[in-house]
Amino acid sequence: MQKNLDNKFKNKNILITGGLGFIGSNLAIKLVNLGAKVTLMDAMLADYGANRFNIEPVKDKVKVDESDIRDADSVNRLVQGKDFIFHLAGQVSHVLSLSNPFLDIDINIKGTAMLMEACRNYNRSAKVIYTGTRGQYGSVVKLPVDETTPTNPKGIYEISNLTAEKIIKVYNDNFGIKCVLLRLTNVYGPRSQMKNDHYGVVNWFMRLALEDKEIKVFGDGKLKRDFLYVDDCVDALIMSAANENAYGEIFNVGINKPTTFVELAELIVQIAGSGRWEFAPFSAERKALEPGDYYSDISKIKEHVTWEPRISLAEGIKASIGYYQKYRTHYWE
């Protein structure tokens, strides 16, 4: 992939909102390696994934702007002169979106509107790449899920992601601000927050295994998901940003190999060489939010952008466990 993209990002000015978080920091490292000039905007809110250690390999090569997506002055300043804007800042937990809906609505909907207004006023030539969630589909009747599936979100986080997506599309259609709208499946890998289990289930399972604790698999453990390694996710963001065929489009970003939660827990325990797992009942709260089986049909992004995942679940878990074994003090100790 890298060879074809060298010139697309060399010396390009890039803004990553939420850039100190999990996906944002992995993206920043890759873009710096492609020769881009990268600015990271992050409010470093507690509960989410911001971590300065995440950008350790490129810390002298990126600018960090500690500011909030809801602050008009900061956003107006930061969008100026940027060729690409990856919008990843967000309230990212569906659980917290139900206990504190106004924070979610404020960051995900108002924050996105602030960003797009800033682009309308100060930089209409920026390309905006947005990372929404598979949760926008809600419970589905047909698997794998393609982009024509009706959206039926089950929580505030999923609604705010869908709304943010639609806001960005309005600016694409009315003001010519080109966008790519991605709907990500569950992503895992190095540089994720591991402090709590509010989101990021694969990473949470890995922490429990590394601490030699019990992983709780809810229900009968047969629920299916497609778990995507973060490097593959970052490639999807970069490749779609660079490809005119992607502009104005919605794409699922996942891996077309479903895995059950029991299989996931077994694999993690086996690769970590510690921990164990057991069945546990769903809490009423989690049960209500659970949309059932989900795995992505990725034929559309494959066709438009020629992206497809390359890392198997076993390879991704092995690489992630290696990372957290080495750097756990920066993530939860």
Ligand X SMILES: NC(=O)c1ccc[n+]([C@@H]2O[C@H](COP(=O)([O-])OP(=O)(O)OC[C@H]3O[C@@H](n4cnc5c(N)ncnc54)[C@H](O)[C@@H]3O)[C@@H](O)[C@H]2O)c1
Q: Contact region for ligand X (CB under 6 A) — 84-92, 115-123, 218-226, 277-285?
A: 84-92
Helices first, then strands: H and E counts in the chain = 13, 13
Q: Which amino acid is at 328?
A: R
**Is 157 known to be catalytic?**
yes
Residues between 121 and 150 that touch ligand X (CB under 6 A) = 131, 133
9 φ/ψ angles, rounded to the nearest 5 degrees: -115, -10
Candidate list 33, 45, 147, 256; residue touching ligand X; CB under 6 A = 45
Answer yes or no whether residue 103 interacts with ligand X by CB under 6 A.
no
**Among residues 109 and 305, whose Cβ is nearest to ligand X?**
109
DSSP 186-198: EEE-TT---S-SS
Q: Are 180 and 246 in contact (CB under 8 A)?
A: yes
Answer yes or no whether residue 22 interacts with ligand X by CB under 6 A.
yes
Candidate list 61, 70, 302, 318; residue touching ligand X; CB under 6 A = 70
For residue 259 the two structure tokens come to 């895995």
**Among residues 21 and 258, whose Cβ is nearest to ligand X?**
21
Q: Which residues contact 303 (CB under 8 A, 6 or more apart)?
A: none
Answer yes or no whether residue 20 interacts with ligand X by CB under 6 A.
yes
Distance CA 225, CA 208 (A): 20
CB crowding 268-280: b at 16 or more within 10 Å, else e: bbebbeebebeee
Q: Are 57 and 29 in contact (CB under 8 A)?
A: yes
**Among residues 171 and 294, whose Cβ is nearest to ligand X?**
294
Answer yes or no whether residue 49 interacts with ligand X by CB under 6 A.
yes
Answer yes or no whether residue 165 interacts with ligand X by CB under 6 A.
no
Candidate list 5, 32, 62, 187; residue touching ligand X; CB under 6 A = 187
Answer yes or no whether residue 24 interacts with ligand X by CB under 6 A.
yes
Residues between 257 and 316 that touch ligand X (CB under 6 A) = none
Q: Contact region for ligand X (CB under 6 A) — 179-187, 215-223, 234-242, 320-328?
A: 179-187
Q: Which amino acid is at 275?
A: G
Candidate list 31, 34, 48, 307; residue touching ligand X; CB under 6 A = 48
Angle, helices 111-122/72-79, rounded to nearest 10 degrees: 50
Q: Are 223 and 282 in contact (CB under 8 A)?
A: no
Answer yes or no whether residue 317 interacts with ligand X by CB under 6 A.
no
Q: Contact region for ligand X (CB under 6 A) — 22-30, 56-64, 168-176, 235-243?
A: 22-30
14 φ/ψ angles, rounded to the nearest 5 degrees: -125, 135
Place of tokens 């250690």: 53
The catalytically annotated residue of 157, 171, 247, 295 is 157
Q: In sequence order, what E strands does 89-189 have?
A: 127-133, 179-184, 186-188
Answer yes or no whether residue 226 interacts with ligand X by CB under 6 A.
no
Answer yes or no whether residue 18 interacts with ligand X by CB under 6 A.
yes
Answer yes or no whether residue 252 interacts with ligand X by CB under 6 A.
no
Residues binding ligand X: what is the number (CB under 6 A)? 31
| Residue among 92, 124, 126, 96 at smallest CA distance from 111 | 92
Distance CA 197, CA 194 (A): 7
In the complex, which residues of this chain contact ligand X (CB under 6 A)? Answer: 17-18, 20-24, 41-45, 48-50, 68-70, 88-90, 92, 107, 111, 131, 133, 184, 186-187, 193, 200
Residues noted as catalytic:
157
